[in-house]
Chain A
Amino acid sequence: MSGTTRIAGGLLAAALVIGVAGCGSSKSPTASGGEPATGTPTKGGTLTVLSNQDFSHLDPTRNWTMPHMDFGIRLLYRTLTTFKSEPGAAGAEVVPDMATDLGTPSQGGKVWKFTLKDGLKYEDGTPIVADDIKYNVERSFAPELPGGPNYAQVYLAGGDKYKGPLKGERLKSIETPDDKTIIFKLKRPVAEFSSTVTLPTFAPVPKAKEAGAQYDNRPFSSGPYKIETYDRGKELVLVRNEHWDPATDTVRKALPDKIVVKQGLRQSVIDDRLIDSRGDDENALTYSDVSAASLAKILPKPETRARLISEISGCTDMLGFNTTKAPFDDPKVRQAVHFALDKQALQTAEGGPDMAEIATAYLPPALSGGQAQDVYGLPQTGDVEKAKALLGGKTLDVGMTISTGDKLVGEAVQSSLKRVGINVTLNPVDPSVYYDTIGDTAKTPDMFIYGWCPDYPSGATFLPMIFDSRTIVEKGNSGNVWQFKDKAVDAKIDEIQAMTDGDAANKAWVELDKQIMEASPAVPFMWKKKPLLVGKGITGAYGHPVWSGQLDYATLGVKQK
């Protein structure tokens, strides 16, 4: 019951990343939008991944950050179902992975049964059994292993009391009658449970390999690669898992023999190395977003531009208000900001129209039938006169908290609101404390920046997560960080969630989007793309739409030398 704030979190938070990314129309002239980068895929070689950071968690129980989920699921562990390895909309399709099919619901979707394929093995050749998946799901309840997806805790019956398997207790609502069958008993019907089990929570962890928090450093592989060495923050080396059987796997191509992840590099250095693409860097690519300044070097040259992958991240960046306090408890003032905001300046700060599309609604286009909804119909630079009229000649002094990596965006907001007499004081805080500050309802600033990405393509993973007033908690609040309380919206959410017709539900979400836009608890301003550069020798590179535009590690290959 959460979207992937972390992703946006990642974008906003990473001080080391100068927040770029972009969002743009799929007509963009870069190599995005469907066509994998050129080259004939061949087996073998070493793929080098350059990153400015370490993975937050590779333990499947704790991995809940979009790009890291992609990396883990595509290379190290398999889940019951997963997303197709295809660019564009086709990639959003859920296909069986370890399971033989997408699961069989019964009792109106309250009970889900999955059957495992034959021939599934761990890196040491031992077979993967249903109980190992149950064990990993149980691990997500353990307070010793925090941070991972909490869907199991929210959906599974008896999840409120359970404290994880580390002290020997097991969860009754998951049954494994034999080694090939796993049955989940849920609290309420969940029509989309086939999509839920794409999350790394539903990967196998053998009990014998349990290492508590340190499992993070050496997850035991069920996927095509296994960890040879992992020096945290420095280097991760993956080699082939000889026991992985390609016959059981329809999504992972597993082309390179070896994958080396170099961590903790400076992003500008990564960008320069890949622009040059000399020697071993031919077979290298960036894990973290290319910086805005580097885009200025990449875009003018067709050769480098062709190697830039920029898939829509699927997330919406928003300017949020504290709706419980003056002056933003007044919807009129919030609307005035909506009118006053120069979204074009923000777009420039994100790298220009090729890299970022101006958002005109909360739901990203992929969730509103491929078409962006434009509720206000404003010019891109805002409507200063209308905003002034709404304010009625008042001038305001407000504070805005930003993460240090979001300085440019903050300054653009400040400069555009000044035009209508709203003086913004920027308070940059360390990324490490940013979400704590916003999530503490007693300290929520007047204005702040927040992003949301759906966990899988459905309006149900978006609007209820960020506008349902019943999810607000006093400390560590996330999702409804604006503390937006509207009974009518809550009721509407319940109504849509009970719908069985998917299309009708989708339409209803779009309607609700419009309804909330009018109350304006937040101003959506950007749909970004994820700008990633690959070396000259890389094949099969495209951004996967589900994992916020991160490269699909299932299909990457390198040129042989």
Chain B
Amino acid sequence: MIVYLAKRIAAVVGILLVICAVTFVIFYVVPSDPAIQACGKTCTPERVAEVRAQMGLDKPVWEQFGVYVVGIFAGRTLGAGIECGIPCFGFSYQNSLPVWDLLVDRLGTSVSLAIGAAVLWLIVGLTVGIISALRQGTALDRTLMIATLTSASLPVYFVAMLLLLFVVRIAEILPYPAYVELAEDPVAWASNLILPWFTLAALYAAMYARLSRAQMIETMSEPYIRTARAKGLPERTVVVKHGMRAAMTPIVTIFGMDLGGLLAGAMITETVFGLPGIGRLAYDGIVKADQPVILGTTLLAAFFIVIANLVVDLVYAVIDPRVRYS
């Protein structure tokens, strides 16, 4: 088990390094020159060269990459006496802040959004899925499945705009979303996030409902369920203890991956609702060609995805006794 874990963690570090390198190289060869951009209007070539040297962009790409990677673990001092503490992910040109500070600052929003939406979609999605499975073939099942299909087929921003139009503008039930820190005002935090939560959950709940229904139907037709029933166990116990437990295992995998992806920012939802999360930060970084920010957000997102993968595999072993590590 420990050997397995060590191997997996080594692989995680390896993947992140490769992603870092790929991202680094791609943005090194792009047409846009951050030095010219930072220099501003009517900048003389000499001054551009000075600015470039100041930003450390005059060095060969491998050297810049080395400095970057070392900086993550050891921190570094940037020009003009700016200390970039461990872990140093570079310094944002546009925001005049270390990228790590920005990431930490924005993480709260993305985590609030992801967790809230996840709770919502798990409750709704699994409930709908299980009910549908247990009432398979009835009118209720069919109605629920049509609803989930519809919901899953709508683009995220479409749902977002409809919610804004009806809930905020016409019915005036909720305020225009504007992120409030949880610690600052929990009620405002929640009421401002309700729409983004629903938007994301609408998509995922539909997917989870369909998935859990299929899993549940399959599990309930397994022989051991028949055995359990034959033993005279109450139907409730059969469904909850035997059926659901087995049916949920594959869902855990998918849930882990989805949550991992969302923790690092739901770009569209954050953009539509103007939420200052990691996805929005990444998007702004791209629009403003702020390469340290693009690199930082990409790495953070990849980190979440890879870690989610790892956690899922570990959790899998706990809930599914058939899985053994080789």
Contacts and interface: CB of A to CB of B under 8 A. Distances in A.
B36 A432 contact: no
Interface residues of A, number: 63
A436 B33 contact: yes
Contact of A233 (B39, B40, B95, B176): B95
A476 B288 CA distance: 16
Contacts of A475: 33, 36, 45, 48
Contacts of A378: none
Contact of B47 (A146, A213, A217): A146
A246 interface: no
Given A272-B176, A473-B45, A15 B287 contact: yes
A212 B95 contact: no
A372 interface: no
B164 A212 contact: no
Given A436-B32, A439-B36, A56 B50 contact: no
A503 to B, nearest CB: 28
A262 interface: yes
Interface stretch (B147-155, B243-251, B266-274): B266-274
A56 B94 contact: yes
B54 A144 contact: yes
Interface in B159-175: 164, 169, 172, 175
Contacts of A16: 287
B287 A269 contact: no
A471 B44 CA distance: 9
Contacts of B39: 146-147, 476
- Which of A2, A15, A143, A432 has the most chain B CB atoms inside 10 A of its CB? A143
B45 A476 contact: yes
A123 B45 CA distance: 38
Interface of B: 30-33, 36-45, 47-48, 50-51, 53-54, 79-82, 91, 94-97, 102, 105, 164, 169, 172, 175-176, 178-179, 271-274, 276, 280-281, 284, 286-289
Contacts of B272: 266
Contacts of B94: 54, 56
B95 A6 contact: no
Interface of A: 1-6, 9, 15-16, 52, 54, 56-57, 59, 62, 64, 142-148, 150, 153, 163, 166, 212-214, 216-217, 231-234, 262-266, 269, 272-273, 276, 278-279, 430-433, 435-437, 439, 465, 471, 473-476, 478-479
Contacts of B169: 272, 276
Contacts of B172: 278
Nearest to A56: B94
Given A16-B287, A266-B271, A269-B274, A232 B97 contact: yes
Contact of A143 (B54, B102, B280): B54
Contacts of B54: 143-144, 146
A233 B281 contact: yes
A317 to B, nearest CB: 17
- Which of B42, B274, B286 has the most chain A CB atoms inside 10 A of its CB? B42
Nearest to A141: B47
A4 B40 CA distance: 10
B42 A479 contact: yes
Nearest to B36: A476
Given A266-B273, A432-B32, A433-B31, A212 B80 contact: yes
A56 B281 CA distance: 15
Given A56-B94, A146-B47, A217-B96, A432 B41 contact: no
A443 to B, nearest CB: 8
Contacts of B82: 212-214
A3 B43 CA distance: 12
A167 to B, nearest CB: 9
3 smallest beta-carbon distances between A and B, as pairs: A212-B80, A432-B289, A143-B50
14 contacts: A15-B287, A144-B80, A148-B40, A166-B80, A212-B82, A233-B102, A233-B276, A265-B178, A269-B274, A432-B287, A439-B36, A474-B45, A476-B45, A478-B42
